[in-house]
Amino acid sequence: MASIVSSLSAEDELKLHEFFSSRVCFQLLYKSSHHGADIGQLLDRFDKHGKYLFTVFPSTGMARGAFISKSLKYEKEYSDKEAFVFQMRDKHNYRFPELNCTTDIAVSVGSCSISFGSHLNLKLDQDYWYYSEVFYRGTFQKEVLCKDVELHCVQDLGDILPNPWREVVWHDNTRENLRKDFASYKMLLESLPRVKTLLLGPVGSGKSSFINSLRSTMYERIVHLPSIGTAVEGFTQKVTTYGIRIKLRGPQSALSFCDVKAIGDDESTGLSYTDALAVIKGHVPEGYKFQSDVTVSDTVSGYIANPTLNDQVHCVLFVLDASKVASYPSSLQPTLRKLHSAISDLGIPQLILLTHVDQVCLAVQKDLKDVYSSQTVQDKMQKAAELVGLPLSYVLPVKNYVSQLTMDRNTDILLLSVAMSILQAVDDTFEDQYSNPVPKIPSVKKIVE
């Protein structure tokens, strides 16, 4: 439905929201100018369950319509205690009384008509929709041609909090400033030009997709490297480090990512605890392919016995899927907690990347700006924090570029905020670990408080 645009303006939608006690969003299902003026086409857009909004755009006058909380999937008369008819005006909208009588709402396929009490009647005639309303003592006024008739699904967004619990400035300037800050970032420790961040997560959590997405953000177009796929034990099977360039064919940024085999339900099906620590400490060579029956040791070809700071991992990013975080196997939590404890002992900063946040909340799916206003997303973030054993403030929600072919400002802002959080976390750690740190460049303004 992405190619079909509603005739409702943003201002119209705000006016319609006034009719509802809770926050809702509208999803366009039928538009007569696109699908054709056909009652069968319209009725086919209904599910057996759902709430719907009819909006009529007459050739003269203001838009009007009706809300119903029951499907018109079947041809019959029925009552609907939540239903009402409305009329939109320049300054004030008007909502007619609820339609409670059993004869208020009627669909007649034979006569190609839909009635909403005495306030609004739609009739199809020679491939055009006409509407009429009560004029005087139950008599309908002259029928008026409709420029368009739309049907929207009404989705309840009741979990949206009145105020966001993290403040983000969702502007084009925010994205551009984040890009510039990320591209120019210099590490506190001059001997470390590039941070190596290890991505750890279950199969399908979105590790490789995140690398792709951040690259897309910097290149300002969708890119398709590294390769992404699906497999029972995860698509990635070997150690691969990916740099993030500040632009296409440009210089490398201060951030790189190390992608490895996914964490499994147990050590026999995924990355083992021993192998994960070997990667973190810098012993595992680039390109090493993990084997379930072989643990990384000094007998492995290319084994790095005395890793330098550049060989080591400087930050660990646990990657979890918001749509699965409540249904992961019970064995995952002790695995993550064990890794978290060992990584803490090594003095390495850790963060949690929560992907697919748009799949757990309809409001966020419609508008990513609601990510920090959604109670559902907050609950998923809290669950992710509990799985690893980190505070909620260490959880960073994102939406990866998975199906999109064009860039999105708000998606970019979340992705770039993660990149900046990683760099700042590593610098904060180095500031404590080194007694005489290199003077720091002016601090980068944090977008997410």
Confidence check: pLDDT of 188 > 70: yes
pLDDT, residue 284, reads 95
How remote is the C-alpha of 255 from its chain's centroid? 24
Structure confidence by residue, pLDDT tens digits, 189-226:
988 989 999 999 999 999 999 999 999 999 999 988 65
* Rounded Cα–Cα distance for residues 233 and 269 (Å): 7
Which domains can be identified in the chain, with CATH numbers?
10-157 (no CATH), 160-434 (3.40.50.300)
Give the per-residue pLDDT at 313. Answer: 98
Tell me if 54 sits within 8 A of 65, measured CB to CB. yes
- Residue 316 tokens read as 């660990």
Task: State whether residue 369 is helix, strand or coil.
Answer: helix
The rounded mean pLDDT for the chain is: 85
Read off the pLDDT of each residue in 51-79 and give the average, rounded to a whole number: 80
pLDDT of 435 reads 58
Res. 436 pLDDT band, cuts 50 70 90: low
What is the rounded distance in angstroms from the CA atom of residue 199 to the CA atom of residue 38?
Answer: 52
Residue 154, pLDDT > 90, answer no
Q: Looking at the predicted structure, is the pLDDT value of residue 442 above 60?
A: no
Say which residue, 106 or 56, is predicted with more confidence.
Answer: 56
Torsion over CA: 372, 375, 377, 381 (sign):
positive
Other Cβ atoms closer than 10 A to 15: 18
Assess whether pLDDT exceeds 70 at residue 54.
yes
The answer to whether 110 and 37 are in contact (CB under 8 A) is: no
Question: 109-123: per-residue pLDDT in tens?
Answer: 777 888 776 677 778
Flag whether pLDDT at 447 surpasses 50.
Answer: no
The three-state secondary structure class of 207 is helix
Q: Which of 17-21, 177-181, 410-414 has the lowest mean pLDDT?
A: 17-21
pLDDT of residue 16: 86
Q: What is the dihedral of CA 378, 381, 387, 390, to 10 degrees?
A: -100
Residue entry with tokens 């005489």: 436
Classify 98 as helix, strand or coil.
Answer: coil
Q: Which residue has the higher pLDDT, 328 or 160?
A: 328
The pLDDT tens digits for 320-364 are 999 999 889 999 999 999 999 999 999 999 999 999 999 888 789
For the sheet containing 350-355, what is the strand order? 240-245, 252-259, 195-200, 315-321, 350-355, 395-397
**To which H or E segment does residue 208 belong?**
helix 207-219
pLDDT in tens, 233-284: 545 678 999 999 999 899 999 999 999 999 986 666 789 999 999 999 999 9
